[in-house]
């Protein structure tokens, strides 16, 4: 049916390592178990004083454990989002068995992020406005720029290949997985540490609050009564590797990364195009570039934020793209469990999609009680279902009106 | 603080222009009964949210939900009437 | 066989103006550095009196009023640069062409001014009165989103963040995006704005010239350099597949041959050490793989546009690194940096790339106008005021970026 190579005979690319830290779990195994169990990690905000906000809940990472071998100065200077990336990458590299030192220049790093060390920068600004300090100091600001997450990983793990941080809002790390794929196909790297990281900050919380986009109760994507999104934080890293390189070292393959597609709505900075033209274009491009037919797709991990507008447009776009399929794919949103992790969402949801393919289950939309029937799609509500899946998509859409769809296939 | 209706309307127009950055618009070109949203000044839902904030900040008057917003933001006339009524209610 | 990537248009918003002024003044060694303009927010009571503000442009001349109202300064600069670049390329993107076109922008901090204002509002007035109008502008990809909305471009829409190498990183990403068949046309480059809060941070951290109390200026590779001057601006290159450019009979300015990424040992938060900088072997080898070599004998001249920004450590490292790539005391390899003219900012490399393209197209040299005596250690052929353009122009140009955290990026352009 499908050849061993991607579209145009491009070399196959696989996922050989997985790592995450998020509000549900601090390891991939625990995350997979929590997904199957249908746990929701959204609870009261503790990272800052959320008094006066429409919503005071989020999915926060608590009790982060940074490996003891990380040098103290780096630990001190790194932002919370840098450390999330470090912990997730450490797990992913350990599990992959990849020997970075054997050919450091052949290992790249591409991450998605949207706010970097913003929380720390906010505190610096507030302290200076309120004259608690009379000058900015270097140390708490070093981790502010988003590029430092990738620089930290390069330094700590010795990866000397191409390095990039993408910031395309909520699609950032979905696109990062795609760039990793391109780098391998272009011969720029044999393996890429790819993913995304995001930590909570006041700016984002206050901003979504001001847009009336935050749900007062844990978000319920695709529910008829959906009332907005919940915010979250965390990181996920996938080791994306050329299949040939992985085979040479007998690496465990969790899934294949078949392709991705990008588009722009060119419509509005925050509102999706009402007809979902960008969402459809990204899905169609992803399928075409992956060389996969709609009939082969069994599952879609949706962007599914829980806002009335996004979920309606996305569901309609999915229904349109898969209108000709014998059986449209099952759809769910991980954001019901983990909140919207913005720059990390594409990677965490890519990881979720890989686990679904590898372990044979449909991850649930945990707070979905009353599915919106408009699109006629099969939403995986409340509890996970066992299912042997062949191919699956992960959708990520961002402010600015940009859309990315990533295609994975069971190994 | 209360002010007469014409002064209030003038102030609202100025607030609309500065708060929503309508640099190319003069207060005199906004008709009192002109629809503020969609077909009127070309504003959208984010502008509506900003206008809610501006009204609360400058007049201390909350616009509790979308329904109230819809009628209050129908025109400068409607907005001035809403603010006057709320101010009168608050005594 | 990879598709060739051609540069068919350039758009610039900068402290020395837009095209053609940008190019004429760079070659004349003029600078856009001028006394600090009052900007209302925490105007610095002490510290630098000089900065490089983008000037001689009015966003209203280029951006539709309905969009302009919403846009932050950084987005305005980038949308303007995109419109100028498309006009320069003689290209209109409509219908299916807009679907096969994309935007790849690099920025270090994007719209930092409105981020500061948003937070000041939040701290002073609480969350209920936080500004919903500016919040969407705070994402780093707001400029690329606005470009897509303004021009109706529906292909890939990407924003790259690589600190001081953000412009180069975006052009590298754009190259990959085209050669993987994801767009026929990309508007690629970057922009950053001069934000008051960033200036205050730089002042407090002692990074700006004159950090030694001496003369305030920006003079890359100069023996007396003492820190950088803040700048701002945006530059966009129209990148097209050779097939697309040929079909429409486009004027070609240069070819983007490719790029090389190399990591050099350094802390994630600092510039490379001198020793580390000497290890540019990976870059030299991979550039050779792209058909580049340090010019010898009768080889055509090469221009190297460096990221040197008048900071002691960075310029020294760049001098060592470039010597390893183009050779020291090589009269056929001329080294320059635009930072004396436009100041330093995250996406300044996009303007450096624009300079490289213009040098290939027009044959002249962007000069180091302020250069007095070069560092005694610097053995490069620097583009001082007295340097004349090579008689046969430049046949290749590299754009070198060595950001903090040191994932160096080198772009290679060739005359067509």
CB atoms within 10 A of CB C53: 20
pLDDT at C144 > cutoff 50: yes
User: According to the model, what pLDDT value does residue C274 have?
Assistant: 75
Question: Which residues of chain B, if any, have pLDDT below 70?
Answer: 1-2, 38-40
Query: Contact at 8 Å (CB) between A300 and A338?
Result: no
- Ranking A90-94, B41-45, C131-135 by mean pLDDT, the lowest is B41-45
Whether A264 sits inside 8 A of C404 (CB atoms) is no
Q: By CB neighbour count within 10 A (0-12 exposed, 13-18 middle, 19+ buried), where does A315 fall?
A: buried
**Per the structure block, which two tokens stand in for C307?**
């990221």
Q: Strand pairing partners for A385?
A: A362
Q: Report the sign of the C-alpha dihedral through residues A354, A357, A359, A360, in that order.
A: positive
Enclosing H/E stretch for C67 = helix C65-68
Mean pLDDT score across all residues of chain C: 93
**Per the structure block, which two tokens stand in for A148?**
């430092």
Read out DSSP for C252-319?
--EEEEEEEEEE----TTSPPPHHHHT--HHHHHHHHHTT-----TTPPEEEEEE---S-HHHHHHHH
Whether B45 sits inside 8 A of A271 (CB atoms) is yes
Q: By CB neighbour count within 10 A (0-12 exposed, 13-18 middle, 19+ buried), where does C331 fall?
A: exposed
3-state SS assignment for residue C385:
coil
Residues of A forming the active site: 170, 303, 340
Whether B44 sits inside 8 A of A268 (CB atoms) is yes
Alpha-carbon torsion, ordered C352, C358, C364, C366, to 10 deg: -20
CB atoms within 10 A of CB A279: 28
Whether C133 sits inside 8 A of B22 (CB atoms) is no
Distance of residue A211 Cα from the nearest chain B Cα, in angstroms: 7
Distance of residue B49 Cα from the nearest chain C Cα, in angstroms: 6
Contacts of B44 in chain A (CB under 8 A): 268, 271
Give the pairing type, strands C394-401 and C407-414: antiparallel
User: According to the model, what pLDDT value does residue A4 have?
Assistant: 34
For C94, residues 6+ apart whose C-beta sits below 8 A from its C-beta are C152
CA dist B59 and B61 (Å) reads: 5
Contacts of B49 in chain A (CB under 8 A): 210-212
Query: Does any CB of chain A come closer than 8 Å to the CB of residue B53?
Result: yes
CA dist C110 and A129 (Å) reads: 22
Query: Does any CB of chain B come closer than 8 Å to the CB of residue C206?
Result: no
Q: Subunits that touch chain A (at least 3 Cβ pairs < 8 angstroms)?
A: B, C
Q: Number of A:C CB contacts under 8 A? A: 226
Banded pLDDT at C264 (limits 50, 70, 90): confident
**Per the structure block, which two tokens stand in for B1?**
């603080």
Whether A211 sits inside 8 A of B44 (CB atoms) is no
Q: Report the sign of the C-alpha dihedral through residues A394, A395, A400, A401, in that order.
A: positive
Interface of C with A in 139-168 (CB under 8 A): 139-142, 144-146, 148-149, 151-163, 166
For C279, residues 6+ apart whose C-beta sits below 8 A from its C-beta are C264, C265, C324
Compute chain C's Rg from CA coordinates: 20
Query: Does any CB of chain C come closer than 8 Å to the CB of residue A335?
Result: no
pLDDT at C248 > cutoff 90: yes
Query: Does any CB of chain A come closer than 8 Å to the CB of residue B49?
Result: yes
Q: What is the pLDDT of residues A115-151, one digit of tens each?
A: 999 999 999 999 999 988 888 888 888 888 888 999 9
**Per the structure block, which two tokens stand in for A240?**
């994306």
Contacts of C118 in chain B (CB under 8 A): none
Nearest CA in chain B to A270: B46
Banded pLDDT at A2 (limits 50, 70, 90): very low
Query: Does any CB of chain C come closer than 8 Å to the CB of residue A127?
Result: no
pLDDT at A179 > cutoff 60: yes
Q: By CB neighbour count within 10 A (0-12 exposed, 13-18 middle, 19+ buried), where does A39 fall?
A: middle
User: According to the model, what pLDDT value does residue C46 have?
Assistant: 65
CB atoms within 10 A of CB A308: 15
Give the best residue of B19, B44, B46 to mutate against chain A (max A CB count within 10 A): B46
Distance of residue B46 Cα from the nearest chain C Cα, in angstroms: 6
Whether B56 sits inside 8 A of C128 (CB atoms) is yes
User: According to the model, what pLDDT value does residue B1 have?
Assistant: 52
Q: Of C137, C201, C266, which is closest to A136 when you measure between CB atoms?
A: C201
Q: What is the pLDDT of residues C158-176, one digit of tens each?
A: 999 999 999 999 999 999 9
User: According to the model, what pLDDT value does residue A146 have?
Assistant: 82
Query: Would you tell me the crossing angle of helices C348-362 and C166-179 to the nearest 10 degrees?
Result: 70
Q: What is the pLDDT of residues C294-346, one digit of tens each?
A: 999 889 999 999 999 999 989 999 999 999 999 988 999 999 999 999 999 99
End-to-end CA distance of chain B: 10
Q: Of A53, A129, A186, which is closest to C127 when you measure between CB atoms?
A: A53
> Omega before C151 cis (within 30°)?
no
Contacts of A271 in chain B (CB under 8 A): 44-45
Distance of residue B42 Cα from the nearest chain C Cα, in angstroms: 8
User: According to the model, what pLDDT value does residue B2 have?
Assistant: 61
Q: Number of A:B CB contacts under 8 A? A: 9
User: According to the model, what pLDDT value does residue C45 have?
Assistant: 58
Q: Strand pairing partners for A405?
A: A261, A395
CA dist C329 and C378 (Å) reads: 9
Q: What is the pLDDT of residues C267-301, one digit of tens each?
A: 777 877 777 777 777 899 999 999 999 999 889 99
Whether C132 sits inside 8 A of B49 (CB atoms) is yes
CA dist C156 and C75 (Å) reads: 18
CA dist C327 and C399 (Å) reads: 15
Summarize the confidence of residues C355-374 as an average pLDDT: 96
Query: Contact at 8 Å (CB) between A347 and A176?
Result: yes
CA dist A85 and A80 (Å) reads: 9
Q: What is the 3-class SS of chain A, one letter each residue?
A: CCCCCCHHHCCCEEEEEEEEEECCCCCHHHHHHHHHHCCCCCEECCCCCCCCCCCCEEECCCCCCCCCCCCHHHHHHCCHHHHHHHHHHHHHHHHHCCCHHHCHHHEEEEEECCCCCHHHHHHHHHHHHCCCCCCCCCHHHCCCCCHHHHHHHHHHHCCCCCEEEECCHHHHHHHHHHHHHHHHHCCCCCEEEEEEEECCCHHHHHHHHHCCCECCCCCCCCECCCCCECEECEEEEEEEEEHHHHHHCCCCCCEEEEEEEEEECCCCCCCCCCCCHHHHHHHHHHHHHHCCCHHHEEEEECCCCCCHHHHHHHHHHHHHHCCCCCCCCEEECCHHHHCECHHHHHHHHHHHHHHHHHHCEECCECCCCCECCCCCCCECECCCEECCCCEEEEEEEECCCEEEEEEEEEC
User: According to the model, what pLDDT value does residue A165 have?
Assistant: 97
3-state SS assignment for residue C24:
helix
Mean pLDDT score across all residues of chain A: 94
CA dist A240 and C196 (Å) reads: 40
Whether C70 sits inside 8 A of B21 (CB atoms) is yes
Summarize the confidence of residues A72-79 as an average pLDDT: 87
Q: Of A212, A268, A271, which is closest to B49 when you measure between CB atoms?
A: A212
Query: Contact at 8 Å (CB) between C308 and C319?
Result: yes
pLDDT at A8 > cutoff 80: no
């Amino acid at each position: 049916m499908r050849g061993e190579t991607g579209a145009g005979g491009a070399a196959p690319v696989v996922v050989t390592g997985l790592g995450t830290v998020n509000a549900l779990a601090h390891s991939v195994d625990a995350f997979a178990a929590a997904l199957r169990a249908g746990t929701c990690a959204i609870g009261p905000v503790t990272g800052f004083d959320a008094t006066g906000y429409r919503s005071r809940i989020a999915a926060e990472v608590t009790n982060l454990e940074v490996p003891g071998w990380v040098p103290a100065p780096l630990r001190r200077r790194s932002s919370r989002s840098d450390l999330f990336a470090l912990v997730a990458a450490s797990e992913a590299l350990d599990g992959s068995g990849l020997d970075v030192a054997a050919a450091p220049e052949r290992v790249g790093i591409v991450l998605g992020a949207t706010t970097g060390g913003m929380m720390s920068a906010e505190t610096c600004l507030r302290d200076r406005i309120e004259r608690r300090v009379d000058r900015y100091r270097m140390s708490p600001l070093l981790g502010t720029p988003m590029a430092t997450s990738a620089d930290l990983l390069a330094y700590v793990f010795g990866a000397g290949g191409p390095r990039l941080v993408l910031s395309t809002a909520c699609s950032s790390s979905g696109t990062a997985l795609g760039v990793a794929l391109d780098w391998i196909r272009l011969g720029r790297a044999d393996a890429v540490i790819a993913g995304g990281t995001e930590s909570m900050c006041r700016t984002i919380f206050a901003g979504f609050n001001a847009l009336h986009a935050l749900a007062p109760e844990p978000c319920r994507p695709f529910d008829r009564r959906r009332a907005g999104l919940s915010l979250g934080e965390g990181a996920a890293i996938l080791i994306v590797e050329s299949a040939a390189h992985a085979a040479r070292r007998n690496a465990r393959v969790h899934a294949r990364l078949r392709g991705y597609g990008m588009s722009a709505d060119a419509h509005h900075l925050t509102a999706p195009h009402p007809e979902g033209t960008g969402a459809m274009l990204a899905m169609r491009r992803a399928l075409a570039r992956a060389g996969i037919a709609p009939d082969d797709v069994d599952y879609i991990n949706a962007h599914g934020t829980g806002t009335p507008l996004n979920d309606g447009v996305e569901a309609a776009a999915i229904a349109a793209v898969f209108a000709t399929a014998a059986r449209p794919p099952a759809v769910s949103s991980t954001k019901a469990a983990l909140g919207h992790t913005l720059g990390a969402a594409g990677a965490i949801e890519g990881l979720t999609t890989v686990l679904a393919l590898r372990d044979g289950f449909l991850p649930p939309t945990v707070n979905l009680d009353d599915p919106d029937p408009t699109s006629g799609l099969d939403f995986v509500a409340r509890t996970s279902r066992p299912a042997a899946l062949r191919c699956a998509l992960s959708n990520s859409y961002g402010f600015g009106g940009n859309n990315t769809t990533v295609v994975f296939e069971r190994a | 603080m209360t002010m007469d209706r014409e002064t209030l309307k003038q102030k609202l127009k100025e607030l609309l222009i500065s708060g929503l950055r309508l640099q190319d618009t003069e207060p005199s070109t906004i008709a009192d009964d002109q629809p503020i949203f969609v077909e009127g000044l070309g504003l959208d839902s984010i502008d509506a949210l900003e206008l809610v904030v501006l009204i609360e900040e400058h007049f201390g008057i909350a616009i509790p939900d979308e329904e109230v917003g819809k009628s209050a933001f129908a025109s400068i006339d409607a907005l001035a009437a809403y603010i006057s009524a709320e101010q009168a209610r608050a005594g | 066989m990879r598709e060739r990537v051609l540069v068919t248009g350039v758009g610039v918003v900068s402290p020395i103006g837009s095209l053609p002024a940008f190019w004429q003044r760079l070659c004349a060694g003029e600078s856009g550095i001028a006394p600090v303009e009052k900007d209302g927010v925490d105007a610095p009571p002490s510290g630098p009196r000089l900065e490089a503000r983008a000037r001689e442009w009015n966003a209203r001349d280029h951006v539709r009023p309905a969009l302009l109202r919403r846009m932050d300064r950084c987005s305005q600069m980038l949308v303007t640069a995109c419109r100028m670049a498309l006009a320069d390329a003689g290209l209109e993107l409509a219908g299916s062409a807009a679907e096969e076109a994309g935007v790849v922008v690099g920025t270090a901090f994007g719209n930092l001014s409105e981020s500061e204002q948003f937070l000041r509002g939040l701290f002073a007035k609480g969350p209920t009165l936080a500004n919903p109008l500016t919040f969407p502008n705070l994402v780093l990809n707001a400029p690329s989103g606005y470009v897509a909305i303004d021009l109706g471009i529906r292909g890939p829409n990407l924003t790259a963040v690589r600190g001081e190498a953000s412009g180069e990183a975006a052009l590298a990403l754009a190259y990959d995006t085209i050669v993987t068949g994801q767009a026929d046309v990309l508007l690629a480059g970057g922009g950053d704005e001069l934000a008051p809060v960033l200036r205050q941070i730089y002042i407090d951290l002692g990074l700006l010239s004159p950090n030694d109390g001496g003369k305030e200026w920006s003079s890359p590779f100069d023996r007396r350099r003492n820190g950088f001057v803040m700048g701002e601006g945006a530059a966009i290159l129209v990148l097209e597949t050779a097939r697309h450019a040929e079909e429409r009979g486009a004027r070609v300015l240069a070819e983007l041959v490719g790029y090389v990424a190399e990591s050099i040992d350094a802390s994630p938060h600092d510039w490379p050490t001198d020793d580390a900088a000497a290890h540019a072997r990976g870059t030299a080898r991979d550039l050779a793989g792209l058909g580049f070599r340090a010019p010898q004998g009768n080889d055509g001249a090469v221009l190297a546009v460096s990221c040197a920004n008048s900071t002691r450590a960075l310029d020294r490292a760049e001098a060592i690194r470039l010597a390893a790539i183009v050779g020291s005391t090589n009269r056929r390899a001329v080294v320059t940096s635009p930072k004396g003219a436009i100041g330093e900012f995250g996406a300044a490399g996009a303007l450096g790339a624009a300079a490289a393209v213009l040098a290939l197209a027009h044959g002249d040299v962007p000069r180091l106008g302020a250069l007095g005596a070069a560092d005694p250690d610097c053995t490069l052929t620097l583009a001082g005021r007295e340097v004349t353009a090579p008689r046969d122009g430049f046949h290749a140009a590299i754009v070198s970026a060595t950001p903090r955290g040191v994932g160096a990026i080198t772009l290679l352009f060739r005359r067509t």
